Amino acid sequence: MVDYVSILAKDPAGVLATKDGEHVRTRVFQCLFTEGKKAYFCTSSEKPVYSQMNKDPYVSFCTYGKDFSPVLSISGKVAFVEDSALKVRALDENPLIKNIYGSPENPIFKIFAVDIEEVSTFSLAEGLRQYTL
């Protein structure tokens, strides 16, 4: 099994894919942190991505390092979490997010966890590797 936690910590910026009706939508996101088999992210309740994940909670997130090795993709079901400790952690560890949302009490500040069901990696040395959690 690949150490996806270390990869996400080293390369947290990536692309999050959601469904919007019959269309797939992608946008740049940052993995905030992981706990167990959950990867945490945040967004605004005013963004289309929030509505998309509420309608269809299955997403995929892809990231890669400077050398593209490995490319990591995690997929699973989103759950929105109203946990002030997680919000405080996100704000404390990410000054840019703190600049956007200010405080954990901000009503549009939403934390969500991807309950990772599938992990895949690709590298030129090893090719495609897929894992089910």
Q: How many domains does the chain have?
A: 1
Residue 81: its pLDDT value, please?
96
Do 15 and 27 contact (CB within 8 A), yes or no? yes
pLDDT in tens, the chain (133 residues): 889 999 999 999 999 999 999 999 999 999 999 999 999 999 999 999 999 999 999 999 999 988 888 999 999 999 999 999 999 999 999 999 999 999 999 999 999 999 999 999 998 888 999 999 9
Residue 66: its pLDDT value, please?
83
Q: What is the distance of C-alpha 85 from the center of its chain?
A: 18
95 is written with which tokens? 């000054």
Range of the domain at 59: 4-132
CA gap 63, 83 in Å, rounded:
26
Residue 28: its pLDDT value, please?
97
3-state secondary structure of 79: strand
CA gap 16, 39 in Å, rounded:
12
Residue 1: its pLDDT value, please?
83
Could you tell me the CATH number of the domain that includes residue 105? Answer: 2.30.110.10
Residue 104: its pLDDT value, please?
97
